[in-house]
Amino acid sequence: MDSARIYENCQSRLLELAATLDREQLGTVVPACPDWTVQQVYAHLAGLAADVVNGDVTPPATDEVTDRQVAARAGHNIERVTAEWTRTGPDLVELLRTQKRRRYSLPALDVWHHENDIRGALGLTAQAEDADQLAEFPLGGLAKGWPAGAPSVRVVATDTGQEWNLGQDGRLTLRGTAFELARAVTGRRSVNQILAMDWTGGDPAPVAPFLPTLPAPEADLAV
């Protein structure tokens, strides 16, 4: 995954978006992160960049760490939050460019999904750029480490032609766009939404709980 480029592009778009948001929009609860508002997602992103650049956090960050990042910026206005992120962003991009360990792709995964989390909360259309890479990262990992007792499934991205075999016998097949697959396997689709996707070859109910690499939301998400 081209983590540096993906992160840089997502950050650029999010900073541009932040400059257009009013107080009500910034206070909108983000359904994908129901404990956070739009501004608090920005606070987390700024905090994560600072923590990783300063060496205080090695990805992934725990829930306790992300909560601390948000709490530490509770009194900051959006201009202060985005100014901090603007300062630390280039250093994080350079770190993502030079670090080859898989864990250093996680900030790019995080910011790409949070961009769409924010867009969904504000009623904006999805941002699907680089969805092929964002699908490959978790699904490639699942293909390498699929639990021995889990039902096998073949996953096909209908718009990119990518395929992943999770397990040995792929009679059960899941099809979807790279964007939908990326969102589904990274905790951005409820189990009900996953079950409602394009499945053929059998009953998806036994396999659906194994797909999300982060906890699936209880409520359906639109983006």
45-81 pLDDT tens trace: 999 999 999 999 999 999 999 999 999 999 999 999 9
| Predicted confidence band of residue 169 (pLDDT cuts 50, 70, 90) | confident
CB-CB contact of 185 with 162 (8 Å): no
Tokens of 14: 């999010």
- C-alpha–C-alpha distance, residues 221 and 202, integer Å: 25
Q: What pLDDT sits at residue 171?
A: 86
- C-alpha–C-alpha distance, residues 48 and 28, integer Å: 21
pLDDT of 170 over the 80 cut: no
Among candidates 160, 218, 155, 170, which has minimal Cα distance to 192?
A: 218
Residue-averaged pLDDT of the chain: 95
CB-CB contact of 14 with 107 (8 Å): no
Overall average pLDDT of the 127-146 stretch: 96
HSE of 76 in the Cβ direction (CA atoms, 13 Å)?
21
What domains, with CATH codes, occur in the chain? Answer: 3-121 (1.20.120.450), 131-210 (3.30.1050)
